[in-house]
Amino acid sequence: MKEATNMTFTIPLVPPLARTELARHLQHKLDQKTKPLGSLGRLEALALQLGLILGSEAPVLDAPQMLVCAADHGLAARGVSAYPSDVTWQMVENFLAGGAAVSVLARQHNLQMTVVDCGVRHQFAPREGLLIRKLGPGTADALAGPAMTMAQCEQAIAQGMAIVREMPGNVVLLGEMGIGNTSAASLLLARMGSLDIADCTGAGTGLDAAAVQHKTEVLRAVLRKHETAVTPLDALAAMGGFEIATMVGAVLQAASDNRVIVADGFITCAAVMVAQRLQSAVTERCVFAHRSGEQAHGKMLELLGAEPLLDLGLRLGEGSGAALAFPLLQSACLILREMASFASAGVAQSA
């Protein structure tokens, strides 16, 4: 595949899904199922999308991978989260022990779960299910200077690409963990969407109104500090996180491989947003699992031109929403593969 180069690493090209003949066949197949035309609603659109991504009229979701990227954020020391930074490493241990929500849901839906230490301020013992790809003990304080150097940002993207290249299957579900990472996502949304930071900032881990106001003021100061960081990579390096940058690479690689990408909530969609600015067609391979309870997620979805599958008021992160939405993808594929047509079932069509 041809590649576009950017500084010291390469970004794979992601062409549009221009399979018009396949799209026609898929739509005809859906229209001929034993049902009133379009009566399965969004499930039909999802089936069509999955067929196009996987290049098949009978798509199969093979060896789905739940990828949870974790890192700490220097900005957390500014009081932008209701929880201390130690919760990041403690939750990684919880993931690996199988006790977190995403762990439970991954087991339920037979998702292979991999946790990546992208830059947690803790030393983990190596074990199955954990990839240690530490870029540092968390990012720097973005109010004092760039969260990461451009070299670190590029390395994070490159490692996200490498992780996905080595994964089996044709589906990647994205999740994350990092105290302070809703702040990073809010900053990226404000900068890339040209929005006021007050419209991009929410309660995150459960801040009260006064704490949200403090968070907003801190983030406004960060945006002023990095007013020249306007390109996607400059903004990501100045105000993002190691886990977000790693997910940017994961999205780019998965899209280049024509894998299905299941985006979770606010933070994972921030990574998709950056990836889309680098290769616009990545979102054609993305299924957006849900609309988060984080108030700015709706604005981010609008910016991405995305329509999420679920709206359950979730704001946990971790990949929990992606895991919850996964059975809908399975159902969409099964409808294409197993539901009878009018002809095969001997059922009369409408006049």
At what angle are helices 320-338 and 42-54 packed, to 10 degrees? 90
In total, the chain counts a number of residues equal to 351
Neighbours of 333 (CB within 10 A): 21
Which of 44, 302, 318, 338 is labelled catalytic? Answer: 318
Q: Is 305 left (phi over 0), alpha (psi -120 to 50) or beta?
A: left
Q: Is 204 left (phi over 0), alpha (psi -120 to 50) or beta?
A: left
Measure CA 251 to chain center: 7
The amino acid at 327: P
Nearest residue to 141 (alpha-carbon basis) of 77, 217, 237, 213: 77
Residue pair 70/117 in contact by the 8 Å Cβ criterion? yes
Neighbours of 316 (CB within 10 A): 16
Q: Is 318 a catalytic residue?
A: yes
Give the side-chain half-sphere CA count within 13 A for 163: 33
Residue pair 195/298 in contact by the 8 Å Cβ criterion? no
Beta bridge partners of 3: 12
Residue pair 336/26 in contact by the 8 Å Cβ criterion? yes
The amino acid at 104: V
Is residue 122 packed enough to be buried (19+ CB in 10 Å), middle (13-18) or exposed (0-12)? middle
Residues recognised as catalytic: 318
